[in-house]
Structure formats: C-alpha cells, structure tokens
C-alpha cells in the first residue's frame, strides 16, 4: 500500500491453506471495534491474498509470527489445534529487574477482562488454570531478556504472569501496577511493550506436516538489546582518567 501510515507485515510462508506473516508492532490483529477505518492485519493483506481467517491474535504493540487461514476448512483445523494446545508458541520479552531464578514456571489462574481496565488478572477463586514457562536468556543492568512459553492461551497471559511475579515487561504501563517507577519501565527508542512472538509451530491443516516458523527481532527491539549490552560493558569497563 503506497504511502501507508503504518508498518506492513512481511510474508514468511504462503500456500493454498495458510499464510504465515511477521506482524509489525503497531498493526492491529483484528478490526477495531470503535473505529472500523483503522488498518488491521487481514484487511491489509486481503488485496493480495483474498479473504483470510484469523486463527489467533497478537496485541497491537506485539510483533512477530502469526498464522492466518486461507479457507474455512483450514480455519477449523487450525482453531482445533490452538484450542487443544497442539501448537507451540515462543515469545521473547525484555522485563524490568533481574529474576532470582534462571528458569521458572508461573502457575497462576487467570480471569480475562477481570477489572475496570479490562486487564487479565490473577484470580485464585474464579480464574482458569494458566501456565507459562519462563527462561532467562540474558541479563543486563536493571533488565533481563526472557523467553516465555505459554502452555495455555489466554489474552495477555504473558503480560499478566510476568507482572504477577514482579517483572513487568518494558513499556507495559497497563500491567505495571506501580511495581516499578515509570522511568524504569521505558527504554529510549522502544516506545511500546517489549514483547515479540519469536516462533510458532503447528501442524499443516491439510498435509499434517509439523511446521515451525521464526521471526527475527524488529529494529526497535534489536536496538534496545544492543543499547543494554553497551551499558553493561560500560559498567564493567569504566573509563579511567
């Protein structure tokens, strides 16, 4: 789309049944319920690929791998996989703080749309079982790059779970809950939630072949990591007078 005021998705894979794309941060997965004129993923792609069916979603500010169905039959088959937890999703995020653990599992029940701000909240009584495996990948001064593997698929699950264990995602003002100061929550050059859908694995709806697709870090995410690495190096090797 010439002159489009929004980032365009990159096509990773396409056949007659599925379309796998790298969704940029800033683009909606679904049509906006209040402003139908706002661009969204399938709407941007339909000119080239025709009608598309959304199987799962990423938040507007989240970048990374998404699969869309290109037929009702593929849509049903993929939906069943997501519902039956036959897919594997890996996310990377930059979180505030330095966890005391290298690996942990967050097993806290969640209730979607659980408060006035429509957040997903931990609710021991009315919440549904939710589990996220978390791994520390790289530590910086005041921040950590982590990998999250949600074993359940609730909206905002990773954001809610990370906030619940005291390590909100950089840029996530919705789930910070005053755990950290606003200046700690932001990294210059990364004006969004620092969450990236790194890879997605599923079974092809027609052939049954197990497929796995990955997405490189977008520029803003990559630059933030480089910046944090430079700051680490500066602290370890201070300049001498």
Give 77-136 as a DSSP string.
Answer: HHHHHHHTT-SEEEEEEEEES--S-SEEEEE--EETT-STT---EE-TTTPBP-EEEEEE
**How confident is the model over 126-170, as pLDDT tens digits?**
999 999 999 999 999 999 999 999 999 999 999 999 999 999 999
Question: What average pLDDT does the segment 37-47 reach?
Answer: 93
- 132, 120 Cβ separation under 8 angstroms: no
Asked whether 196 and 218 are in contact (CB, 8 A), the reply is yes
Task: Report how far residue 145's alpha carbon sits from residue 121's, in angstroms, rounded to the nearest whole number.
Answer: 23
Report in angstroms the alpha-carbon separations of 62 from 173, 209, 229: 14, 27, 22
pLDDT at 233: 82
- Under a CB-based contact definition with an 8 Å cutoff, are residues 62 and 197 in contact? yes
Share above pLDDT 90 across residues of the chain, in percent, rounded to a whole number: 84
Looking at the annotation, which residues are catalytic?
59
For the stretch 60-91, pLDDT in tens is 999 999 999 999 999 999 999 999 999 999 99
Residue 23 has pLDDT above 60, yes or no: yes
List the chain domain ranges: 10-236
Average pLDDT of the residues in 86-97: 97
Helix count and strand count (H, E) for the chain: 5, 12
Is residue 230 helix, strand or coil? helix
User: Which pLDDT does position 136 carry in this prediction?
Assistant: 98
Measured CA to CA, the distance from residue 120 to residue 158 in angstroms comes to 10
pTM of the complete model: 0.92
SS3 at position 240? coil
pLDDT score recorded for residue 240: 54
Q: Residue 3: what pLDDT?
A: 43
Rg (CA), the chain: 19
- Largest Cα–Cα distance in the chain? 69
Backbone angles phi, psi at 172, to 5 degrees: -90, 80
Q: Say yes or no: domain 10-236 is CATH 3.40.630.30.
A: no
What's the mean pLDDT when you consider all of the chain? 93
Cβ neighbours of residue 63 closer than 8 Å, sequence gap 6 or more: 22, 23, 24, 25, 195, 196, 197, 215, 218, 221
Quote the tokens at residue 12.
């990773």
Q: Are 21 and 66 in contact (CB under 8 A)?
A: yes
Q: Which residues, other chains included, contact 217 with Cβ-Cβ below 8 Å and sequence gap of 6+?
A: 92, 196, 225
Q: pLDDT digit string (tens) for 207-238?
A: 999 999 999 999 999 999 999 999 988 777 66
**How far is residue 7 CA from its own chain's centroid?**
17
């Amino acid at each position: 789309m010439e002159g489009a005021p929004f980032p365009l998705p990159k096509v990773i894979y396409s056949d007659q049944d599925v379309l796998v794309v790298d969704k940029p941060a800033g683009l909606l997965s679904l049509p906006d319920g209040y402003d139908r004129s706002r661009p969204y993923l399938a709407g941007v792609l339909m000119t080239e690929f025709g009608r598309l069916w959304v199987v799962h979603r990423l938040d507007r500010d989240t970048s990374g791998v998404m699969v869309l169905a290109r037929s009702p039959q593929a849509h049903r088959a993929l939906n069943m996989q997501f519902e039956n937890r036959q897919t594997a999703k890996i996310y990377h995020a930059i979180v505030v703080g330095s966890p005391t653990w290298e690996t942990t599992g967050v097993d806290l029940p969640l209730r979607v749309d659980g408060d006035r701000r429509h957040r997903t909240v931990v609710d021991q009584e009315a919440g549904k079982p939710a589990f996220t495996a978390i791994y520390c990948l790289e530590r910086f001064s005041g921040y950590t790059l982590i990998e999250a593997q949600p074993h359940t698929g609730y909206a905002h699950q990773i954001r809610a779970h990370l906030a619940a264990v005291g390590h909100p995602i950089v840029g996530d003002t919705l789930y910070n809950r005053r755990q950290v100061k606003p200046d700690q929550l932001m990294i210059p050059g990364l004006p969004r939630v620092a969450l990236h859908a790194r890879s997605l694995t599923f079974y092809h709806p027609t052939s049954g072949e197990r497929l796995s697709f990955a997405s490189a870090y977008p520029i803003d995410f990559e630059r933030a990591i480089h910046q944090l690495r430079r700051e680490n190096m500066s602290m370890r090797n201070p300049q001498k007078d």
